[in-house]
Amino acid sequence: MMQAAALFGSGLVAGLVAGTASCTAVQGGLLVGLTGERDRVVLGWFLTGRLVSYTAAGALLGLAGSAVKPPPQARAVLLVAAGLMVIAFAVRLYRRPGCQPPRRAFGGLGPPLLGAATILVPCGVTIGMELLAITSGSALSGAAVMAGFVLGTAPALALLGWLLRRVTRTRLARAAAVLAAAAGLWTVGTGVNLGGWLPATATTTGARSPVVTIWALRDGYRPAAVEAPAGVPVEVVFKLVDRGCTETVAFAGRDLALPATVRLPPQPPGTLRYACGMGMFTGIIKFS
């Protein structure tokens, strides 16, 4: 019980301090698709659905471990799909400013299920909380840390949702539509980035070495591109400098909480991409 209470507090603080900007950036655009006539009721149901799904996911993660957590490639697909849905609503709003989104938004899911679905498009801080739930080894502790995190991010999402719905009913609706479309495009871009579906164009630096050290800063990974020898085992050492999105990295098909060391088997010539949990910052390792 003491562990669960401590983790609840940790999740709450993480949500208030780090998750506010992170989650609103990734999931805020989905609020454009909320429907209903009473703002407080709609947003309340959205946040309730989010709380239920995150708490349940935390319990499952604590009980079963990472087996129930979607891998980076699956999250990348979901991010792209979410971004496209936001763009679709933005186009509709631009064509018909001041109108309400359709009542069957997102295939008829409705506010509670839309809030619950946000667990499928987590931000980088959310992934860090999920990893903490996994290591707790307890359903109660896993649920506690995720519930605390959701409650910490709730005020910012509620305020953003209220502002978005107010603006879409005024003459600023078209400006809001443009911003929503930009948010959708950004979400699509992060999904593509997280999935590793962009060509690697960065210039590599440093000599080839079987030990590669990468520093995770608040604004990216340094060096962003390095060389390593192909055909021999390579050790990749991630060192954490700043807390933020980069402290969780999607590397070789799995999520890592930094600092961490990965020992790669011999790799063929080519490029290995990695990204932060949100898909915002990337790096490459070129094997030659």
- Annotate 161-183 with b (16+ C-beta within 10 A) or e (fewer): beebbebbeeeebbebbebbbeb
Rounded to whole angstroms, the Cα distance separating 42 from 36 reads 6
For the question of whether the overall pTM of this predicted structure is more than 0.75, the answer is: no
The token pair that represents 266 in the structure block: 């011999």
Q: Helix crossing, 124-136 with 39-64: angle to 10°?
A: 40
Contact 199/268 with Cβ under 8 angstroms?
no
Rounded to whole angstroms, the Cα distance separating 271 from 276 reads 17
Domain ranges of the chain: 2-195, 211-287
Query: pLDDT by residue for the chain (288 residues), tens digit each?
Result: 667 888 898 888 888 876 677 777 777 767 766 644 455 677 888 889 999 999 999 999 888 766 666 788 888 887 788 788 778 877 877 776 555 544 444 444 577 888 888 887 777 678 778 887 887 878 999 999 999 999 999 988 888 877 776 776 666 777 777 877 887 888 788 888 888 887 766 666 666 779 999 999 988 999 989 999 999 999 999 999 987 778 889 898 888 888 999 999 999 999 999 998 778 889 999 998
H or E stretch covering 286 = strand 282-287
| Bridge partners, 220 (sequence order) | 217
CATH number of 211-287: 2.60.40.420
